[in-house]
Homo-oligomer: A and B are copies of this chain.
Amino acid sequence: MNDNFLRALLKKPVDRTPIWLMRQAGRYLPEYCETRKRAGDFLSLCKSPDLACEVTLQPLARYDLDAAILFSDILTVPDAMGLGLYFETGEGPRFERPLREEWAINNLTAPDPYDHLGYVMDAVRTIRRALDNRVPLIGFSGSPYTLACYMVEGGGSKDFRHIKTMLYARPDLLHRILDVTSDAVIAYLNAQIECGAQAVMLFDTWGGSLSDAAYVEFSLAYLQKIVAGLHKTWNGGKIPSIIFTKGGGLWLEKIAASGCDGVGLDWNVNIADARRRVGDKVALQGNLDPNVLFAPPETIVAEAKKVLTAFALDNTAGNTGHVFNLGHGISQFTPPEHVEALVETVHHFHF
Contacts and interface: CB of A to CB of B under 8 A. Distances in A.
A80 interface: no
Nearest to A295: B168
A267 to B, nearest CB: 5
A213 interface: yes
Chain A interface residue bracket vs B: 35 or more
Contact of A161 (B159, B168, B267, B294): B294
B268 A165 contact: no
Contacts of A164: 289, 291, 294
29 contacts: A159-B291, A159-B331, A160-B291, A161-B291, A161-B294, A161-B331, A164-B291, A164-B294, A165-B294, A165-B295, A168-B289, A168-B294, A168-B295, A169-B299, A208-B268, A210-B268, A211-B267, A211-B268, A211-B289, A211-B327, A212-B269, A212-B273, A213-B270, A213-B306, A215-B268, A247-B247, A247-B268, A249-B249, A250-B270
Contacts of A292: 168
A168 B299 contact: yes
Interface string A82-95: 00000000000000
A296 interface: yes
Q: Could you say how many copies of this chain the assembly holds? A: 2
Interface in A297-323: 299, 303, 306
A290 to B, nearest CB: 8
Interface in A310-351: 327, 331, 333
The 10 closest A-B pairs by CB, nearest first: A164-B291, A168-B295, A212-B270, A165-B294, A169-B295, A211-B267, A249-B250, A211-B289, A168-B299, A168-B292
Contacts of A168: 289, 291-292, 294-295, 299, 303
